[in-house]
Amino acid sequence: MGPAKDMEHVTIGLIGLGTVGTGVARILTEHADRIARRAGKRVRWKWAVVRDPAKIRDVKLDGVRVTTDTARLIDDPEVEIVVEAMGGIDPALNIVLDCLAAGKHVVTANKALLAEHGPQIFAQARAAGRAVAFEASVGGGIPIIQALGVALAANQVQNLAAILNGTCNYILTKMMHEGLAYADALAQAQELGYAEADPTLDVDGTDTAHKLAILTQLAFQATVKTGDIPRQGIDRLQLADLKYAGELGHAVKLLALAKFTTAGLELRVAPTLVKRGTPLAEVRGPYNAIRVVGDAVGDTFFYGRGAGMMPTASAVVGDLIDVMTGRAILSSLVLDLWAEPAHTVARTPPHQIKSHYYLRFTIADSPGVLAKLARILGEHGISIASVIQHDTGDDAPDNSAVPLVIMTHLAVEAEIHAALGEIDQLDVVRPPSVCLGVED
């Protein structure tokens, strides 16, 4: 038997009926009784705001008022909760601020908005005594925001390594395991609803940096600007490096990395070699994963679909239920998120960052070249762990260009960059050389 039809209801508005909004609408319309049981109240979906009201929608809109005018929803005193699923910063920022000022709770999947304007949004939420819930902003359907904010709250997080962009992981998987070209894999990810409206944000690492900034807020109570996170995407990655990494027993993943050390907080987003057989290396397709090490709990690992309609909608509707029950406002007030400037944490300078590195040089296939490179690496205190150079055969012309791949022992990042700068000046080397970090 379902919940009583006449039970108390909460009126909501949904801004955006694209990939995420459609998923949310489907859960609300197809599983209304289930949501009512879990929330203790019924959802009354009154408004849908879209850009193009004439577009055919793949969801039932019975009784829902469709408009392009957000003010109608903001000015409607019946609306208690607004789900923002439109994306972007402008006009989303002003809409969210206006919703809070009008006394509405906000549920959002918009990581760009929170990463860039978290302090302003949460200051407004506190002033208005309203909740901003954002589980869907990181990791799609994986409940990592709840985990860091609530279940792991007893810990000092020491280390976090994560695959946070479904589009990039999908592209890397398709290139590596199915031989698909980069552009074709990206087109598929867009078709499947994984990519951002502007997919540059996915492939250049910005989306991952947005998500890392949000996780940094929860894990370390540190407010960082996305622009301050060193980042590199997969857009300039070459298939050759995926293959050499495979020969060396590694997969290449776009990782978000955060390490809390005595020297400070080390943050970065970069394509990184991860040893095959470890959980992060085996994450494929649009799946995301987050490894969190806490001082009390030790190692934890969170895994699931990181992008796409229904996994993201699962997180949004979970937040909606949390707001309806009153749990969200309680944790919002206690967590005191983005309360700048008190919690800003110093970041580790690059000369103190150490890692193993994968280096690929394109060199002239002639005697003494390896020795020249090894000498420069040695002068910078960089020790070689292994080398790959495939035999080009005795018939190859003198000085033909060949790849030389080197894995290093632990080395200081600043020394690696200095050494590559010198090596790329050699007349036997065709720049630019490739450098990728290796995650243990």
Binds ligand NAP by CB under 6 A, chosen from 2, 91, 103, 227: 91
Please, which of residues 160-199 interact with ligand NAP by CB under 6 A? 193-194, 196-197
User: How far apart are the C-alpha atoms of 229 and 231, rounded to whole Å?
Assistant: 6
How far the first Cα of the chain sits from its last, in Å, is 52
Query: By C-beta, is 139 or 149 nearer to ligand NAP?
Result: 139
**Which residue has the CB atom at the shortest distance from ligand NAP?**
18
Q: Which does 212 bind (CB under 5 to 8 A by kind): ligand HSE, ligand NAP, none?
A: none
Which residue, 112, 48, 31, 84, is CA-closest to 316?
Answer: 84
Query: What's the min distance (Å) between Cβ of 13 and ligand NAP?
Result: 12
Retrieve residue 67's tokens: 């408009």
User: Quick check: 195 binds ligand HSE (CB under 6 A)?
Assistant: yes
Query: By C-beta, is 46 or 430 nearer to ligand NAP?
Result: 46
* Spacing of C-alpha 239 from chain mean position: 22
Per-residue binding letters, 137-166, with ligand HSE (x by CB under 6 A): ---x------------------------xx
DSSP SS3 for 107? strand
Binds ligand HSE by CB under 6 A, chosen from 16, 21, 304, 306: 306
Q: Are 251 and 436 in contact (CB under 8 A)?
A: no
Query: What's the min distance (Å) between Cβ of 173 and ligand NAP?
Result: 16
Q: Which does 395 bind (CB under 5 to 8 A by kind): ligand NAP, ligand HSE, none?
A: none
User: Quick check: 334 binds ligand NAP (CB under 6 A)?
Assistant: no
Q: Which does 202 bind (CB under 5 to 8 A by kind): ligand NAP, ligand HSE, none?
A: ligand HSE
**Stretch near ligand NAP under the rule CB under 6 A, chosen from 83-91, 117-125, 226-234, 261-269:** 83-91
Which residue, 425, 429, 424, is CA-closest to 402?
Answer: 429
206 Cβ neighbours under 8 A, 6+ residues apart: 112, 200, 226, 231, 233
Q: Which of 104, 111, 211, 253 is catalytic?
A: 211
User: How far apart are the C-alpha atoms of 244 and 221, rounded to whole Å?
Assistant: 38
Binds ligand NAP by CB under 6 A, chosen from 79, 106, 110, 152: 110
Would residue 211 show up in a list of annotated catalytic residues for this protein?
A: yes
DSSP SS3 for 70? helix
Binds ligand HSE by CB under 6 A, chosen from 80, 98, 207, 322: 207
The counts of H helices and E strands in the chain are: 15, 16
Q: Which does 167 bind (CB under 5 to 8 A by kind): ligand NAP, ligand HSE, none?
A: ligand HSE
Q: Which does 12 bind (CB under 5 to 8 A by kind): ligand NAP, ligand HSE, none?
A: none
Retrieve residue 258's tokens: 């955060």
Which H/E stretch holds residue 310? helix 309-325
Which H/E stretch holds residue 14? strand 9-15
Cα torsion for 179, 180, 182, 183, to the nearest 10°? 160
Q: Which does 320 bind (CB under 5 to 8 A by kind): ligand NAP, ligand HSE, none?
A: none
User: How far apart are the C-alpha atoms of 326 and 306, rounded to whole Å?
Assistant: 27
Number of residues that bind ligand NAP (CB under 6 A): 28
Please, which of residues 165-184 interact with ligand HSE by CB under 6 A? 165-167
Q: Give the type of residue at 181.
A: A
Helix/strand/coil percentages in the chain, nearest 5: 40, 25, 35
Cα torsion for 303, 225, 24, 321, to the nearest 10°? 80
User: Quick check: 118 binds ligand HSE (CB under 6 A)?
Assistant: no
Query: What positions carry a catalytic annotation?
Result: 211
Contacts with ligand HSE by CB under 6 A lie at 140, 165-167, 194-196, 202, 207, 306-307
Contacts with ligand NAP by CB under 6 A lie at 16-21, 49-52, 55, 68, 85-87, 91, 109-111, 136, 140, 193-194, 196-197, 307-308, 312
